[in-house]
Structure 1
Amino acid sequence: VLDRSNLIVYGRPKSRSYHLKISPPNMDVNGLDMISFKSWSGRVCGFAGDELIIPDSLFQQSYSIISVTQLDEAGHYNLMVQYGKAEPIQEIEPEAASSPEITRELDKETTKTNNEQ
């Protein structure tokens, strides 16, 4: 679980991972032991009608799946870093907060030509 509306689901083999976005974003992250899916097409693709179901002892909570993205290894890692679930390998600091100053020297010929016009 990344946050209240984003999670990573692992397929078979476990190296296949998918980023799921769900709605409404009020998923309880505590005690998330089991999830199931409901889809009219037999595949969870993020199309209308796809649902993530979290069974509970009293009732089942269902959430609409609004997006499914297959992740490669770099995409998986970057998503984990983005949501604070992994540490970045190397942090890159921005160079300067201001824009660079551009200077240009004009030669005498160009200055003379511009003055004559």
Structure 2
Amino acid sequence: MSDDERDPVALGVELLAHLEHESLSVAEAIDRIETVTTNPAVQREILDTAAMRGVIDREDGLVRPRSGGSYVSFEADVVVREGEFSCERCGASLSTGHFVQFDGGELGPFGSTCIRNVLGRE
């Protein structure tokens, strides 16, 4: 599925559903969502849709995922490819890209450090 065909709202909601934090500030959640879209209206739609579907709770400037442990598995859900890429989070040039496989599409590429940041492992 190409970037033009993927649904950014579905992908963003899926990303929020797989976060490994008990809570994030809205700014931290937006930092993650920016890997899907930098459009502020779509970012708001992702947060609103995730809350409406019960994926997250939003209260007092915090986002609390309600996933109950459905975290991304590096072994099963992250594909590593060799090639020439630019990291979706920091813009760095990459020779190895990490891509997260979600039902709603693929998210990436990310470098080895940024993939951990996006998924909340660091």
Verify same fold: TM over 0.5.
Answer: no
Q: Computing the radius of gyration over CA atoms, which structure comes out larger, 1 or 2?
A: 1
| Bigger RCO (CA 8 Å, 6+ sep) | 2
- Which has more helix, going by share of residues? 2
* TM-score, scaled to structure 2: 0.24
Q: Could you tell me the TM-score, scaled by structure 1's length?
A: 0.25
